[in-house]
Structure 1
Amino acid sequence: MNYHKLNSKFILSLLFLIVFSFSLSSCGIVRPGEVGVKQRFGKIIGGVRQPGMYLHNPFFSKIVKVPTRTINMYASLTSLPTKEGLNISCDLSVLFHIEEKYALQVVQTVGVKNGENIIMSVLRSSVADVTAQFAAKDLYTSERHQIETAIAEKMTERLGDRGFKVESILLKSIILPAQLSRTIEEKLQAEQQSQTMKFVLERQRQEAERMKIEAEGIRDAQKIISESLNEIALKYLSIEAFKDLSKSNNAKVIITNGKTPFLINEDGD
């Protein structure tokens, strides 16, 4: 009797597990940042599914999830031509996403996974076309942002209405031929030294201008003093000098012609 009860409980538990597992496998969950597309026997059924839970027969159908959030794809490209005919290498990232209204089209034409292959192919071609229009040194200057924008525009043009939206291109490390790299570094150093020299010359020019203004002020002051020293003023200054000498406690001999005093030390020094 106990043996039959154990078998019954085991069978019921097994059935429950089977039903529970089947229920989980027949439940598709579309998460935020993606949409779902239902396929049955390889054919698309219905429209785009928004984030949520959807039931389907796992033996005959599935929910294909299409990401609509931003995807950051890293790429390392080599042998890229420049305007001078040189070859460079660079590491970059492309930020893109699949537009929701094109989700069905993406699944039908290229598939979600193969979409990244298309992005990579278009990226390689677009980067090569754009770098061929710029000099290698431009990758180190303010032209860099212009190059990133041009690559993004070229990719958008080539992708057309496939459903992939290129948000931006981010150039990271740039690898130039060794000789060219040294030349660019030397040029940048020369430009920096030139800017430093301009600063020094400007500071010296300002200092020279300051000294000129100061000298002009001294000259004008001396001119005013010399013009004011007439005979009456000199006599007045002599009288004031005699007064100051008379107040001194030191013994002294004063010889004067009535205009200018001459002092003689008492000790004859």
Structure 2
Amino acid sequence: MDKLPKIALPAIFIFIVLIIAISKSTVTIDSGQAGVLYKTFGGGVVTDEPPMGEGFHLVAPWNRVTVYEVRQQEVLEKMNVLSSNGLDIKLEASAWFEPIRNDLGKLHQEKGEDYIQRVLLPTIRSAARSVVGRYTPEQLYSSKRDAIQQEIFDETQKIVSGQYIQLNEILVRDVTLPPTIKDAIERKLKQEQESLEYEFRLVTAKKEAEKVTIEAQGKADANRILSASLTDKILQDKGIDATLKLSESPNSKVIVVGGGESGLPLILGNN
């Protein structure tokens, strides 16, 4: 009984050490994540092998694993930029991105876990200031929104493509102009819209007038052709035809052919 405590204490100590060693030697990586292995006695960060995938892993207790999100992520950035004429513009843009999985070790070694703050956000800010500085506030507010968005993406992509980051999209969420400038632009756009509407009504009225003129000209030409074709002989024949049809009426009458001054038949009767 006296020896039991002396045996139990070392056993408990060894058990605790084993528990700590096992806990330090296991890593569980969730879905959408990957792990970068750092070998304390083996050359540091492992960059020549793929990162550790999802699931349960055993590692030496003296090594470390840094877990990264490798799914598409979004970062939102709000910034003040200057337009081409020096006006202060508030721009809100977001980036869709993801670290390049097979280069995760190099990203960890060269940029670190805070690569978003070190690399991505400064690049977006620089690209946005460069692009917006080429445009006027009116272009930013209306017609050039999509073009600006694409240019910011292109300039950001040129830089981050060599930084082990895959940029998927840049979205310009909001452009806020000074209130006085915004009001002036809206008034100008309204005037332009009213002018376009007035021009449209003028064009429509002109086309309608041309249509009426063409129809009238067509009728006039048709009447002229018809008048030119109606000779005395044709009129006389048509008069005879009409008279003969009248003779078929049940009323009693006498037809004298060629009795009129124009040679047309005369109809005498007691109607």
* TM-score in terms of structure 2 length: 0.73
Deviations 1:130-152 (A, max 9, x none): 21111122224442232223222
Local SS of the residue matching 2:171:
strand
Contact 1:76 1:91 (C-alpha < 8 Å) held by counterparts? yes
1:205 deviates by 3.4
Provide the rounded CA distance (Å) in 1 between the counterparts of 2:21 and 2:208: 89
Change (3 A) 1:127 1:227: same
Change (3 A) 1:115 1:45: closer
Correspondences of 1:1-269 after superposition (within 5 Å): 23=22, 26-40=25-39, 44-47=44-47, 48=49, 49-52=51-54, 53-58=56-61, 60-77=62-79, 79-112=80-113, 114-118=114-118, 119-159=120-160, 161-243=162-244, 258-259=261-262
Contact 2:70 2:98 (C-alpha < 8 Å) held by counterparts? yes
Provide the rounded CA distance (Å) in 2 between the counterparts of 1:201 and 1:18: 92
1:123 deviates by 1.9
Change (3 A) 1:61 1:244: same
Local SS of the residue matching 1:72:
strand
1:88 deviates by 1.0
Change (3 A) 1:158 1:238: closer
Local SS of the residue matching 1:50:
coil
Provide the rounded CA distance (Å) in 2 between the counterparts of 1:152 and 1:229: 79
Provide the rounded CA distance (Å) in 2 between the counterparts of 1:84 and 1:249: 97
Query: What runs of 5+ residues in structure 2 fail to find an aligned partner?
Result: 1-7, 253-258, 266-271
Local SS of the residue matching 1:111:
coil
1:175 deviates by 0.8
Provide the rounded CA distance (Å) in 1 between the counterparts of 2:220 and 2:45: 99
Deviations 1:226-251 (A, max 9, x none): 11222223333444454566666899
Provide the rounded CA distance (Å) in 1 between the counterparts of 2:148 and 2:192: 23
Change (3 A) 1:129 1:177: same
Moved more, 125-134 or 183-192: 183-192
Moved more, 84-93 or 190-199: 190-199
Local SS of the residue matching 1:120:
helix
Local SS of the residue matching 1:106:
helix
Change (3 A) 1:185 1:248: farther
Contact 1:93 1:169 (C-alpha < 8 Å) held by counterparts? yes
Moved more, 232-241 or 211-220: 232-241
Contact 1:37 1:65 (C-alpha < 8 Å) held by counterparts? yes
1:202 deviates by 3.6
Query: Percent identity between the aligned chains?
Result: 24
1:194 deviates by 3.8
